[in-house]
Amino acid sequence: MASNSSTVSVDDVPTNGLSTDQSTTQEAEEVPEGWQCTICLSDEGDVIQRGCCCRGDAGAVHLECLIELAVHNTATLGDDGGWTECDTCKEPFTGVAQRGLANARYQQALELPEDDDERMSATSMKCNALFNAGKYADAAELEKAVLEMYHRKLGDDHDHTLIAASNLAMTYERLGQYVESAELHHRVLEARTRVNPQDISILRTKHALANTFRSQGKLADAAEMLREVVAAWTDAVGADHPETLGAIGSLALALTALGRPSEAAVYQERVLTAERRIFGPDHPKVLTDCSVLAQSYREMGKFVEAGELQREVLAKRIASLGVDHPETTLATGNLAVTLKDEGQYDEAIRL
């Protein structure tokens, strides 16, 4: 996820993109009683997890303190990264922290002219927060305004305009407006190809368009385009790059939807092996993709392999989140279903 900036730069306009499905961060949530805010060192008031990759009390913070720090850094250092990512782990904020920061920045920017760079960046940040919160209709309304503003200020083929169009296209997809989504993706793809046929962003646009094809039920078209994207990303940035792994994951989803879980599992195993090596065995992204691969195994009738992965996920969810966390509950349910399919009813009931 890109950050926002007070100057217009392509790297500073946030994209909804695929970041939602590929997030490696944790959702912000209330922390245990007694934890202190890492900024003001007080445990009074509502202390939350900032939703980045800081674990335990290292991620505890007051939302108000986080906002004050972002304002201070922007004013004194000219660095507005504090609105979007953690100073410690350098990962983006999510959940409560992301939404709170986006709302504060957006409200502050409303005092600026409509076409001011900071106001446009703050509005884009607000759109991204709404999208990640699942408020797609609200996000779409703001994204239309952002797209129109970039269109008037920078022209049809500017990177910012094309990124804004891509964001709106992905929001349309989440709203089930697949025709509108595909049309916008096609427009972006044509523009990028016309401006610079070697632009690496073309691959991101094709990836997003393929996902829209999958949502439309055009599964063969989606799989064909994603194979092309996977090959191109592998050549461009390597097999273990996040862009490559994200495209492989999307290809596996298309193959699963085509009723080809065995082929999907090959790609999911490839992703999981790379993620274990890159992030380590306990990373939330690794655990999520363990569950995805386990589902493919279950659909293939490989209940033992599925159960092994699901037991690993459950044990690590309990260790990191506790027995009552929603992710732990989900992991317990997944394992119970597999055990029932395998005929181990007593063990399933004990869960």
Confidence (pTM)? 0.79
Q: Is there a contact between 258 and 220 (Cβ–Cβ < 8 Å)?
A: yes
CA-closest candidate to residue 314, choices 287, 276, 295, 338 = 287
Q: What is the pLDDT of residue 22?
A: 34
Contact of 317 with 331, CB cutoff 8 Å: yes
Of 78, 73, 62, 126, the closest CA to residue 98 belongs to: 126
**Of the candidates 200, 204, 194, 198, the residue with the CA atom closest to the CA atom of residue 170:** 204
Work out the burial of residue 71: count CB atoms within 10 Å of its CB; fewer than 13 is exposed, 13-18 middle, 19 or more buried.
Answer: middle
Question: What pLDDT is stored for residue 8 in this prediction?
Answer: 31
Distance of alpha carbon 264 from alpha carbon 223, whole angstroms: 11
pLDDT profile of the chain (351 residues), mean per 10: 33 34 42 87 90 84 94 84 88 91 95 92 94 95 95 95 97 97 97 96 97 96 98 96 96 96 96 94 92 95 95 94 90 94 85 80
pLDDT at residue 74, rounded to an integer: 87
**What is the 3 state secondary structure string of the chain?**
CCCCCCCCCHHHCCCCCCHHHHCCCCCCCECCCCCCCCCCCCCCCCEEECCCCCCHHHHEEEHHHHHHHHHHHHHHHCCCHHHCECCCCCCECCHHHHHHHHHHHHHHHCCCCCCCHHHHHHHHHHHHHHHHCCCHHHHHHHHHHHHHHHHHHHCCCCHHHHHHHHHHHHHHHHCCCHHHHHHHHHHHHHHHHHHCCCCCHHHHHHHHHHHHHHHHCCHHHHHHHHHHHHHHHHHHHCCCCHHHHHHHHHHHHHHHHCCCHHHHHHHHHHHHHHHHHHHCCCCHHHHHHHHHHHHHHHHCCCHHHHHHHHHHHHHHHHHHHCCCCHHHHHHHHHHHHHHHHHCCHHHHHHC
Q: What is the pLDDT of residue 2?
A: 36
Backbone φ and ψ of 198, nearest 5°? -95, 5
Return d(Cα 295, Cα 303) in angstroms, integer. Answer: 9
Residue type, 60: A
The most distant pair of C-alpha atoms in the chain lies apart, rounded to whole Å, by 65
Contact 82, 4 (CB under 8 A): no
- For the range 59-64, what are the long-range contacts, defined as Cβ-Cβ under 8 Å and sequence gap of 24 or more? 59/26, 59/31, 59/86, 60/31, 60/35, 60/36, 61/37, 61/97, 62/37, 63/96, 63/97, 63/100, 63/101
84, 199, 350 from 157: Cα distances, Å: 26, 13, 59
